[in-house]
Structure 1
């Protein structure tokens, strides 16, 4: 089950479980759309994988299966993709 992490690893922007701005790779590294597109060029800086829109969990399921509260943030943000 996806963790639905609460923030962007680059800029620490809040990403609610129902956010349409969240992007993830196959390892669930999580970024906001702005960082994913403008800084990372659609490529995860951790694994090199593709960043895609994160699925949204139905609100009724969030009660039984809540989103993660663990924030993962890169100490120095993300470097611009070359």
Structure 2
């Protein structure tokens, strides 16, 4: 099951699990659409392809909660 990380690693934009607009690589590094475009759909961490992340219906969050661990760190951001 996907972690459904809550934010863009590059700019910190919120990326709710139930909303479209998140892009992930095979390691689940997560980026918003704008950052994914800026990165030419390539993950800066592993060079993997960034793909649309599927959404998770909000009704399923209680049983299968998305991650709350934020990956954005302003001091290390390359954005």
Q: TM-score, normalised by structure 1?
A: 0.87
Deviations 1:4-38 (A, max 9, x none): 0000000000111112110000000000000000x
Q: CA deviation at 1:50?
A: 0.4
Q: What corresponds to 2:57 in structure 1?
A: 58
State the distance in 1 between where 2:55 and 2:2 align.
10
Task: Provide runs of 4+ in structure 1 moved above 4 Å.
Answer: none
> Superposition RMSD on alpha carbons, in Å?
1.3
With structure 2 as the length reference, what TM-score do the two structures score? 0.90
Could you tell me which runs of 5 or more consecutive residues in structure 1 were left unpaired when the two chains were aligned: none
Deviation, structure 1 residue 63: 1.3
Instruction: State the 1:62 CA deviation.
Output: 1.3
Q: Is the 8 A contact 1:45 1:78 kept in 2?
A: no
Q: Report the counterpart of residue 23 of structure 1 in structure 2.
A: 23
Per the alignment, residue 4 of structure 2 pairs with 4
Specify every segment of 5 or more residues in structure 2 that has no aligned partner in the other structure, as ranges: none
Aligned length: 78
